Amino acid sequence: MEKNVCFEFSNDGKYFSFINSQSKFVIYNVELNKVDQIYTPNLHLTAPCTCFVWLEILPNQKKRKSKNFDADNEKQFFIAFGTSKGGVALYSIATKQIERIFGGEGHAASVSQISTFNDWIFTCGNDGNIIKWSIPQSEQLEKFTIAVERLTCLSIVNEEAVLTGAKQLKLWNISKNQLTESFTGHTSNTIFLKSFNYNDENYAISASKLDRIMSLWLLESGNKSPVATFLLDDSVEYLYHKLIFSKLHILAISKSGVLHYFVQNVGKLKSLKPIKAKHTIEIASTAVTTKNVERIPILTATLNFSLNENEVLIGYGSEQNLKFERITIDSEEKNQILIRDNPLAIGTGNTKNIEQTSFKVKTPIVNENSVQYLNAATAPTSKKLSAKSVEIPMEERLENLSITKDGSINVSGKNLSHLLIQGIQSRNSKILRLVFGKNDEAIIKSTVKKLPSKYVGPLLTEISLLMQKRTPHVSSAITWLKYIIQIHSTHLMALGYQSFLLNIGGCMGIIEYRVEHLKSLSKLNGRLDLLLNQIERSQMPATELISDNFVEYQDESDIDSLIDENDEGDTSSDEQNYNNDDIDEEEEEEDNNDDDDDGKVDEEMEVSE
C-alpha cells in the first residue's frame, strides 16, 4: 500500500490528519497515540476529498455562518476539503460533519491542492485553473485561467503572486493574469511546493514523486536553475521546512522511511553539487531475527511543536497503527538509529515477534483421549483418514529459475511470476533486473497473467523507475505496462480515481515527457539524414553519380532543333539520289548506241561476201 502524501498537523500540534488510500479522512490524537476521528465522505452528498488544509475561524465569523459553532471558545478548528468534483467543503472537528459547502462553479476537474492566505483559500485543479475563495462568505471570488496543463500543486507567495507546479514551476501575477517567471522544474510532476521569504527575497522548495533531489529556487531573479539542490537516498514522500533566523531547516522523508535532516545557511547556498543531509534518522524494530533487521518507516516529522532546537516530533508506523514521539537529535552523530517496538505487528498479525505475555489470553489444556468428536472431519489425523496435503510440484517451482554452481540465477521458463514476486517483496535490484531483462512478449504476458492483483501497484512503481533509464529499458517497461493494463484493467478500475493516479501517474508522466519532444526530434532526424546524404554525394566522383537508372530530359526547344536537322539531311539525300538516276539513264543510252553500231558492222560484212 502506497503512502499518501497529504499529511498535516493541526495548528496547535494536538492532532495529525491525513487522507488514507480508501479516501477516508483520519485524525490522530498526537498525545494519546490513537485515532480520534474517521470521516467517510457521503458519495451522494459530498464527493471524496483529494486534499485538505487546517483552518482557525474566529468567533465573530462563526456566529454569522452557523448555529452549531461554539462561541464560548476563543477559536475553533476546521478542515477545508478539496473534492474530486472541483469544489470546497468545510468540515468541523467539534461536530464531526460537513458544516457547509462553498458556493460557486468550482473547477471542471478534481482539486489537486488547497492553500490558505489571510481570509482566502486558493485551490488549483487538474483543469489548469486557480480559484480564489472567501472563507467568511464561503463563496468563490475569482477564477484565473493559468495553463492548459494539469496543475499538481501551488504555493501562495503574496497577495498577487502564486507559484504553480507541474513538470515546470511557474510564477504568476494573478492580479494581471500574467506569467512572471518560469523555472526548469523536475522530470515528473511536482508534488511538494513550499515558499518562504528571506531578506525581502522569495524562495521556494520543490520536490517530485520520482526524484531523489529537492530543489531550492530564488523567485523573481531571472535564473532558471535552482540555487541549491538537496540529495536523498530515495524519492521524496514528505517535506517540511522552517526558517530559523538565517538557517533553513528541512525535514524530508524518503520512500524507504528514512528521515533526512538538512540545515543550511540561506545566504551561503551554492548550486555546484547536491547537498547531503546533516543527520539521518532510522527506526528499527526490537524484534531482531538472525536474517535481517526490520525497519519501521517514518511517515511524518515537524519542528513546530518542539521544546528545544534539537528536538523533532516524528510519527512512525503505518496508517492503521501510527505512533508519535519526540526525539532529540545528537549533533555529533550523522546517522542515528532508534530501536522501538513495532506498531505494525498487531495490525499485520505478526505475533511471532511479540511476547506471549503481552496478551491476556490463555489456551486451555485439553486431554485428547477424553474428547468426543462429532464429525470425523474434525478429528485428529490419527483417528481419521489421512489426507494428502496439496503441494506445488517441484517442476513448477523450478520453472522460473535455476541456480548455477557459483550461486548466480539464470532466468528460464515460460513465466517469471514467482521470481518477480520475490524481487518486489525483497526489493532486490538484481532479481528485478533479471526479470525486466526479458523482453519476450510471450513470457511477459504469461508472467503478468499469473501475477496476483495485490502486486500490481508495487510493480507499476518499479516500472516507473525502470522507465527513467535508457531507451532499451524503456522499451521493456512499455511492454510490461501494456500487458498490465490489458490483463489487470478490472483491478485498476476498481481502485478508484485517486488510487489509480497514484499507481499509474508516474508512468504516464514519464511517457508524456518523452513524447513531448518526439515531433521535434523526428524533424531533426530527417534534416540530418538529408544533410549527411548531400555530404556523401559531394565527396563521390562524378562517374559514380551516373547509374543505370539515369533519365535524360529534353526541352521542347531541343526537340524542334532536332526535327529541323533531320529535314535538311533528307533533302540532301534526295538530291543525291536524283543525280544518280540521271547518270544511270546516260549510261543506258550509251550502251544502246554501242549495240546499234555493232549491228551495222555485221550487215556490211555480209554484203561484201
Q: Given pLDDT bands bounded at 50, 70 and 90, which one contains residue 410?
A: low
Model pLDDT, residue 96: 87
State mean pLDDT over 215-239. 88
> For the chain, what percent of residues have pLDDT higher than 70?
69
Instruction: For cell 520475490, name the residue.
Output: 422
In whole angstroms, give the CA distance from residue 89 to residue 95: 14
User: Is the confidence at residue 327, as pLDDT, over 60?
Assistant: yes
User: Is the confidence at residue 188, as pLDDT, over 70?
Assistant: yes
Residue 591's Cβ-count burial label (10 Å; 0-12, 13-18, 19+) is exposed
Q: Residue length, the chain?
A: 609
Alpha-carbon 300 to chain mean position: 23
Q: Which residues contact 548 (CB under 8 A, 6 or more apart)?
A: none
The alpha carbon torsion through 448, 454, 457, 462 (nearest 10 deg) reads -60
Q: Given pLDDT bands bounded at 50, 70 and 90, which one contains residue 568?
A: low
User: Is the confidence at residue 220, as pLDDT, over 90?
Assistant: no
**pTM as predicted:** 0.56
Model pLDDT, residue 281: 93
The answer for 229, left when phi > 0, alpha when psi is -120 to 50, beta otherwise, is beta
Model pLDDT, residue 207: 92
Which of these ranges, 20-34, 168-182, 368-382, has the smallest mean pLDDT?
368-382
Q: What cell does 472 get?
A: 532499451
Q: Which residues contact 133 (CB under 8 A, 6 or more apart)?
A: 88, 102, 104, 120, 121, 122, 123, 139, 140, 141
Q: Which residues contact 127 (CB under 8 A, 6 or more apart)?
A: 86, 107, 108, 109, 150
pLDDT: which is higher, 586 or 119: 119
Model pLDDT, residue 414: 58
Q: Given pLDDT bands bounded at 50, 70 and 90, which one contains residue 545?
A: low
Question: Are 116 and 106 within 8 A, CB to CB?
Answer: no
User: Is the confidence at residue 356, as pLDDT, over 70?
Assistant: no
Which of these ranges, 56-70, 171-185, 331-345, has the smallest mean pLDDT?
56-70
CB count, 10 Å around CB of 429?
Answer: 11
Which of these ranges, 249-263, 403-417, 466-480, 482-496, has the smallest mean pLDDT?
403-417
Q: Given pLDDT bands bounded at 50, 70 and 90, which one contains residue 413?
A: low
Question: Are 37 and 43 within 8 A, CB to CB?
Answer: no
Q: Which residues contact 449 (CB under 8 A, 6 or more apart)?
A: 415, 483, 487
What is the rounded average pLDDT for all residues in the chain? 76
Q: What is the radius of gyration, based on Cα positions, of the chain?
A: 43
Q: Given pLDDT bands bounded at 50, 70 and 90, which one contains residue 64?
A: very low
Model pLDDT, residue 325: 92
In whole angstroms, give the CA distance from residue 89 to residue 121: 11
Q: What does the buried/exposed string (b/e) look like for 215-225 if buried means 16 or more CB atoms within 10 Å of the residue's CB?
A: bbbbbeeeeee
In whole angstroms, give the CA distance from residue 11 to residue 302: 12
Model pLDDT, residue 542: 65
Most confident of 80-84, 406-410, 585-589: 80-84
Nearest to 281 by CA among 258, 264, 297, 303: 258
In whole angstroms, give the CA distance from residue 484 to residue 462: 13
- Identify the three-state secondary structure at position 458: helix
User: Is the confidence at residue 274, as pLDDT, over 50?
Assistant: yes
Model pLDDT, residue 273: 85
- Identify the three-state secondary structure at position 349: coil
Model pLDDT, residue 114: 93
Q: Given pLDDT bands bounded at 50, 70 and 90, which one contains residue 223?
A: confident
Q: Given pLDDT bands bounded at 50, 70 and 90, which one contains residue 359?
A: very low
User: Is the confidence at residue 576, as pLDDT, over 70?
Assistant: no
State mean pLDDT over 307-322. 86
> For the chain, what percent of residues have pLDDT higher than 90?
20
What is the residue extent of each domain of the chain?
412-516
In whole angstroms, give the CA distance from residue 522 to residue 510: 19
Which runs of E-coded beta strand occur in 394-486? 401-403, 409-411
